[in-house]
């Protein structure tokens, strides 16, 4: 479901942030929110997805175009054992190739377009994340932006341009996590297109049948989602250290009591 995709994107963004040089809390929150939003983007190939409905006719038209391109690519590249389907939903936009290409295009576009392009990507990612996770996300995001604004050096526009590189990583990571999540479901995901596997160019990767998730069922809503909520909180910079210190404080006897014993 959309909210699970967004939440796993949030967790991936927080986990990946230190590796791309995003160290402070406010930067990590912005990075994770962007990754969460773009973890919904591959479903732009579905007419009723959150990404398709986000900006009305505009994103609807993009969805229509993506489905047409995906169907054309599928018709041209399908292998002898690929299914007889239209090749729209869960095809072109659900591949590693798409994630890498979109991430690279985002990075190049932000570098060329400067601060306005960066703001556009950030806003689009935030709106996608809010559509899936709820308006509560605006509170930590707004706090992170305010923190950045009042603590950053004077040339804030130049700083926006400087983050264009990691925005591409956030976009690619979001799409990657989406595909990874879909690979755990009944339908699977043609993640490795165009690598041919068993006569299929669009081979759906998925675990053994007993381990596959049923989308929107109890396992996802009552187990997977709550677990990732907890993980998403603990991954916020500083929260894990605080939690460990709190547990140690609660279960470590006072020094005076230890000395008496």
Query: Any idea which of 10-19, 57-66, 70-79, 251-260 has the lowest mean pLDDT?
Result: 251-260
Q: Which of the two residues, 256 and 125, has the higher pLDDT score? A: 125
State both tokens at 132.
Answer: 């899936």
CA distance 110 to 100: 15
Q: Tens digits of per-residue pLDDT, 102-140?
A: 999 999 998 888 878 888 898 999 999 998 888 878 887
Residue that has been written with the tokens 């020094």 in this structure: 255
pLDDT at 50 exceeding the cut of 60: yes
Select from 6, 11, 2 the least CA-distant residue to 228: 11
Select from 73, 81, 49, 45 the least CA-distant residue to 196: 81
- The domain locations on the chain are 2-260
pLDDT for residue 1: 76
Average pLDDT of every residue of the chain: 83
CA distances 156 to 139, 159, 169, Å, are 21, 5, 21
pLDDT at 37 exceeding the cut of 60: yes
Q: Tens digits of per-residue pLDDT, 188-229?
A: 899 999 999 988 999 999 988 877 777 666 666 666 667 766
Half-sphere exposure of 117 (CA within 13 A, CB side): 18
């Amino acid at each position: 479901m959309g909210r699970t995709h967004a939440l796993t994107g949030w967790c991936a963004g927080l986990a990946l942030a230190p590796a791309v040089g995003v160290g402070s809390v406010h930067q990590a929150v912005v990075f994770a929110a962007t990754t969460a939003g773009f973890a919904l983007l591959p479903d732009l190939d579905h007419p009723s997805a959150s990404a398709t409905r986000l900006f009305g006719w505009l994103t609807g038209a993009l969805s229509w175009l993506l489905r047409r391109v995906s169907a054309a690519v599928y018709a041209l590249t399908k292998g002898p054992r690929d299914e007889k389907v239209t090749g729209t939903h869960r095809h072109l936009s659900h591949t590693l190739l798409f994630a890498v290409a979109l991430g690279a295009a985002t990075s190049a576009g932000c570098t060329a377009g400067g601060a306005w392009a960066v703001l556009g990507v950030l806003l689009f990612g935030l709106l996608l994340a809010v559509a899936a996770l709820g308006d509560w996300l605006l509170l930590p995001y707004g706090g992170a932006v305010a923190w950045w604004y009042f603590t950053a050096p004077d040339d804030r526009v130049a700083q926006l341009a400087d983050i264009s590189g990691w925005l591409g990583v956030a976009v690619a990571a979001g799409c990657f996590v989406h595909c990874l999540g879909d690979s755990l479901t009944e339908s699977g995901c043609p993640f490795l297109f165009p690598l041919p596997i068993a006569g299929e160019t669009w081979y759906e990767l998925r675990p053994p049948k007993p381990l596959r998730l049923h989308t929107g069922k109890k396992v996802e809503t009552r187990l997977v989602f709550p677990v990732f909520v907890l993980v998403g909180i603990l991954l916020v910079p500083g929260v894990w250290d605080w939690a460990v210190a709190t547990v140690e404080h609660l279960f470590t006897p006072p020094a005076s009591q230890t000395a008496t014993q």
